[in-house]
A and B are shown apart, each in its own frame.
Chain A
Amino acid sequence: MPSPPAGRSPLEFSFTPEHLALREQVLRFARREIVPRVREHDLAGQFDHRSWCRLGEMGVLGLNLPQAYGGGGQGALACVAVGEALGEAGVDGGLCLSWGAHSFLCADTILVHGSEAQRRRWLPRLAAGEWIGCMALTEPGAGSDVASLATRATRHGGGWRLDGRKMFITNGGIADVAVVFARTGPGPGHAGISAFVVEKGAPGFSAGRALHKLGMRSSVTSELVLEECLVPEDNLLGEEGAGFLMALQAVEWDRSTLLAPFLGQVQFLLDKSCTHARERVQFGRPIATFQAVKHKIADMKILLEAARSLVYRVAWCKEQGRGLNPLEAACAKLFVGDASLGPTSDALVLHGGYGYCHEYDVERVFRDARLAAIGGGTSDIQKLVISRLMEAAGG
C-alpha cells in the first residue's frame, strides 16, 4: 500500500476539476438528449438504441478504455462521476445498467485480461458503441454460487466447444460480444473456470427469451444458449482456468461505478421531492412546511451522504491499482443496496398519488432501485463476504 505524500491533508473527498467538468457535461447532455426518451422505453421495456448511440458519440461507452483503443482513458473515479451524473439527470437505471455491463463487465475484462490482438479486435468497436458487450457468468443453477457453474468448454479441433445456458444476462439478447465463463477443468469449485469471448453469430450461440422485469426495463436481460457453440482458440481470454479471478475483478466495477447511478438517482429523487414539496399546496400551505415531509427529505439527504463516500472509496482504491478490495466493495454494495430502498420509498410517498403514476418518474426509480440489493450479488451475499472476511481477520 503506497504511503501518501508527507503533508497531505487527511482524507480528501473532492473530484478533480476535470472530473467535475466531465460530470457537468454529461449531466447537461443526458438531460437534453436522453431523458426525454426514457419514460417511453421504460414503459415499453425496450432498449433505446438511439440513446445508446448518443452515449457512444459522447464517449461514455468507452470512457474507461485507453485512448489507443478509441476510449476516453479515464479511471474509476471519472466513471463514478459520470454514473452519478447519468442518475442525477434522470436517465433510467436500465440504460445505466446496460452501460455498466458493456463497459465494465465486458470491455474492461477484455482490456485487463486480453492479449493485444484481442484488444485490437474488440475494444475499438465496443468503445464507440458500434458493438454492444455483455458478460455471461450467471446460470440457472449458479448465481452467487459461481463454484457450481456448469457450462462446459471442451477442446474441439483447434478451438473450443461450449455447452450450457446462461441466465439474467444484461444486454444478452442484443450483445455483439459476450465474455462467457465456462468450466474447462474438473468441477465443482473455483478452479478450472475460464473466460471466452463469443461473438454474435457464432455457431451454436443464441439468445433465449428476454425476461420481463420489475425495473431496469429498458435494459435487455436474457437467457443465453450455448449448444455445441464453437469458438476459435484465439477467443480464450487470459490463462486457461483463471476465470474466477477475472469474474471477481469485473464484479469490483459493479461495487463502484455500477453503484454510482444509484447515488445519482437518489439525488434525482431528492431534487424532485424538494420541487414537489415546494409546489404542492395542501391545507392552504406548501407541503414543504410540514415536519413529516421535511423529515423524509432530510432522510434522503442523510443516506445519500452516508453512501457516497463508501462508493467513492472503492473507486479510489481501484484507481490506485490496489487490486481487489473485497471488504470495502462488499460494504459499499450492502449499504447502497439496502440504503437506496428507504429514500426511493420516501420519495414515492412524498409525491402521493402522483408518485404512483408513470409520468412522475418517481415510481420508475423506486422499481429500478430494487436491483441494487439483488444484482451483482444480493445483500445476503455481501453479508456472507463481509462476515467471512471478519472471521478471517480474527478477534
Chain B
Amino acid sequence: MNFELSGEAREAEGRAEALLQAEAAAVAGLPGLDGTGLRRLLLAVQRALPGEAGAEVAARLALARASPSLLLGVEATRHLSVLLEALGPRALPEAERDALRRGERIGAVALADAAGAGPARLEVDGGGWRLTGTKSFVTNGPLGDWIGVVAGSGGREALCLVSPRDPGVRLGERMELMGLDGLAVSSLALEGAPLPAARVLGPFEGRPVAERYAGEADLSVAVAAAGLMRSVLTAAKGHALSHQRDGRPVFARQEVAFKLAEVLALTEAAELICHRAAWLRRTGDPEAATVARCAKVFCAEGAERAAGACLQVTAGEGYRRGTATERAWRDAKGLSLCGTTAEVARMAIADDLLSRA
C-alpha cells in the first residue's frame, strides 16, 4: 500500500496546475468561450498532458478542480484514443493516430442513441460499410476531428471512425445545457454515411466497445465530480472564514463548520475511491469495472450533496449567477446524469455481486 503520490503523478499534477495558471483567463471565461476558443484551450491541455500524464488521477483532479467541463472535454479525446489502442490502432493513418495520442486532435465518442431513433446501424455496402443512426449528447461533438461511433451490425457491435467532414455525417448545433458550461455537446446524425472498411473496428461479439468506454467514462465523471467537490468546498470555506455575522466569521458556528467538515470527509473519500478505481484498472483487477461504477455513483451523488451544502453555507452570495457554488450546483446535477446513470450503474454493480458464487 502507498498513499503518497509518486514523482510522476506529482509532476503531471504540477504540469496541469501550471497550465491552468497560464490559462486562468480562458478557464474563468469558459462559459462564454466560443468553439474556436474552447478548441484552443482543449488542445493546449491535451498537449500539456498527453498519454500517461493525462491519465494520472492527480492531474485529472487538478483539471476538474478548475473546471469539470474542461476535464470531460479532454477526457473525451483520451477515451477515443484508448478505444483505438485497444480495439484497432490501424483504423487511422499513423500520423493521425500519433496526433490524437499527442493531444493535437480532438476526439469524441458517440454512444447514446437519440430517444426514439433506434440503435445506430452499420450495414455492408459493396466493399465498404454504410452507417445510419442518430446519436444524442456527443461530448466534443462540435469540436471533434474524429468521432468514434458505436453501432450495431447483425447483433454485434462496432466502433466506426467518422470525421465531421465525411459525407452523410451531420453534427447538430452546440447544445445549451443547464450546467457544465464549458462542455461542447451536440447531436450527431448519420445519414447512410459511407465508410471504408479500414474505418470500422469490429464488428465484435458482445459489447466490448460500450463496456470499455463506459469503464473509462465512469471514472472520468467520478474524477470530475471529486474535483468539483474540492473546489466548491474551497469556495464555501473561504466564504465562511471571511463572511462576518454578529462580529465573527460564520465558520465559527457549528451549523456552518460541521457542514463543511462533512463535505471534507466526503471529498477525501471521493478522491481516494477515484485513485483506487484507477489503480484497479491499471492492475487489471477483475473488480475494476464494478469499483469504477461505485466511484461514479459515489462521487456524482457526493458532488450533489457537497454542492448543495456549500451553496447553503454561502447563502445569497453563492446563489448569484456565475459564483463557484452556483456553477457547482448546476454542474453536479450534470455529472450525476452523464456517463452511466446512477440507476443503471447500481443495477450493474448488483448484477456483478449477485453473479458471484
Contact = CB atoms under 8 A, between A and B. Distances in A.
A305 B345 CA distance: 14
A170 to B, nearest CB: 25
B268 A331 contact: yes
B1 A13 contact: yes
Name which of B4, B260, B278 has the most chain A CB atoms within 10 A of its CB.
B4
Interface stretch (A50-58, A134-142, A293-301, A355-363): A293-301
A15 B1 contact: yes
Contact of B298 (A9, A302, A380): A302
Nearest to B251: A391
Interface in A378-394: 380, 382-384, 386-387, 390-391, 394
A297 B5 contact: no
B42 interface: no
A20 to B, nearest CB: 12
B107 to A, nearest CB: 24
Contacts, number: 173
Contact of A310 (B8, B269, B282): B269
Interface stretch (B25-33, B70-78, B155-163, B235-243): B235-243
B122 interface: no
Contact of A301 (B7, B265, B294): B294
Contact of A77 (B1, B261, B269, B272): B1
Contacts of B294: 298, 301-302, 305-306
B102 interface: no
Interface in A268-314: 270, 274, 277-278, 288, 291, 293-295, 297-299, 301-303, 305-310, 312-313
A242 to B, nearest CB: 29
Interface in B76-93: none
A92 interface: no
Interface string B335-346: 000000001011
A334 B353 contact: no
A15 B285 CA distance: 14
Contacts of B269: 306-307, 309-310, 331, 335
B16 interface: no
Interface in B101-127: none
A309 B347 contact: no
B48 interface: no
B34 to A, nearest CB: 34
A387 B257 contact: yes
Interface in B307-357: 343, 345-347, 349-351, 353-354, 356
A277 B355 CA distance: 11
A294 B257 contact: no
B268 A310 contact: yes
A365 B264 CA distance: 27
Interface string A328-339: 101100110000
B257 A11 contact: no
A207 interface: no
Contacts of A308: 276
B242 to A, nearest CB: 7
A359 B300 CA distance: 38
A338 to B, nearest CB: 8
A294 B1 contact: no
B56 interface: yes
Interface in B46-100: 56-58
Given A8-B6, A328-B268, A386-B265, A278 B354 contact: yes
Interface in B227-253: 237-238, 241-242, 251
Contacts of A335: 265-266, 268-269
Nearest to A278: B354
A12 interface: yes
A386 B259 CA distance: 11
Contacts of B280: 13
Contact of A294 (B9, B278, B346): B346
B289 to A, nearest CB: 12
Contacts of A310: 265, 268-269, 272
Given A312-B1, A395-B238, A298 B7 contact: no
A176 to B, nearest CB: 35
Name which of B266, B350, B351 has the most chain A CB atoms within 10 A of its CB.
B350
Contacts of B275: 10-11, 13, 309
A4 B291 contact: no
Nearest 4 pairs of A and B residues by beta carbon: A294-B350, A387-B257, A309-B272, A298-B346
Interface of B: 1-9, 56-58, 237-238, 241-242, 251, 254, 257-258, 260-262, 264-266, 268-270, 272-273, 275-276, 278-280, 282-283, 290-291, 294-295, 297-298, 343, 345-347, 349-351, 353-354, 356
27 contacts: A4-B2, A4-B6, A4-B7, A6-B7, A7-B7, A9-B2, A11-B276, A12-B279, A14-B1, A77-B1, A298-B294, A301-B350, A305-B295, A306-B298, A309-B276, A312-B3, A316-B1, A334-B262, A334-B265, A335-B265, A335-B269, A380-B258, A383-B261, A386-B265, A387-B254, A387-B260, A390-B261
Given A10-B8, A298-B353, 12 more contacts: A9-B282, A10-B5, A10-B58, A77-B1, A295-B347, A301-B294, A306-B270, A308-B276, A316-B1, A331-B265, A390-B237, A394-B241
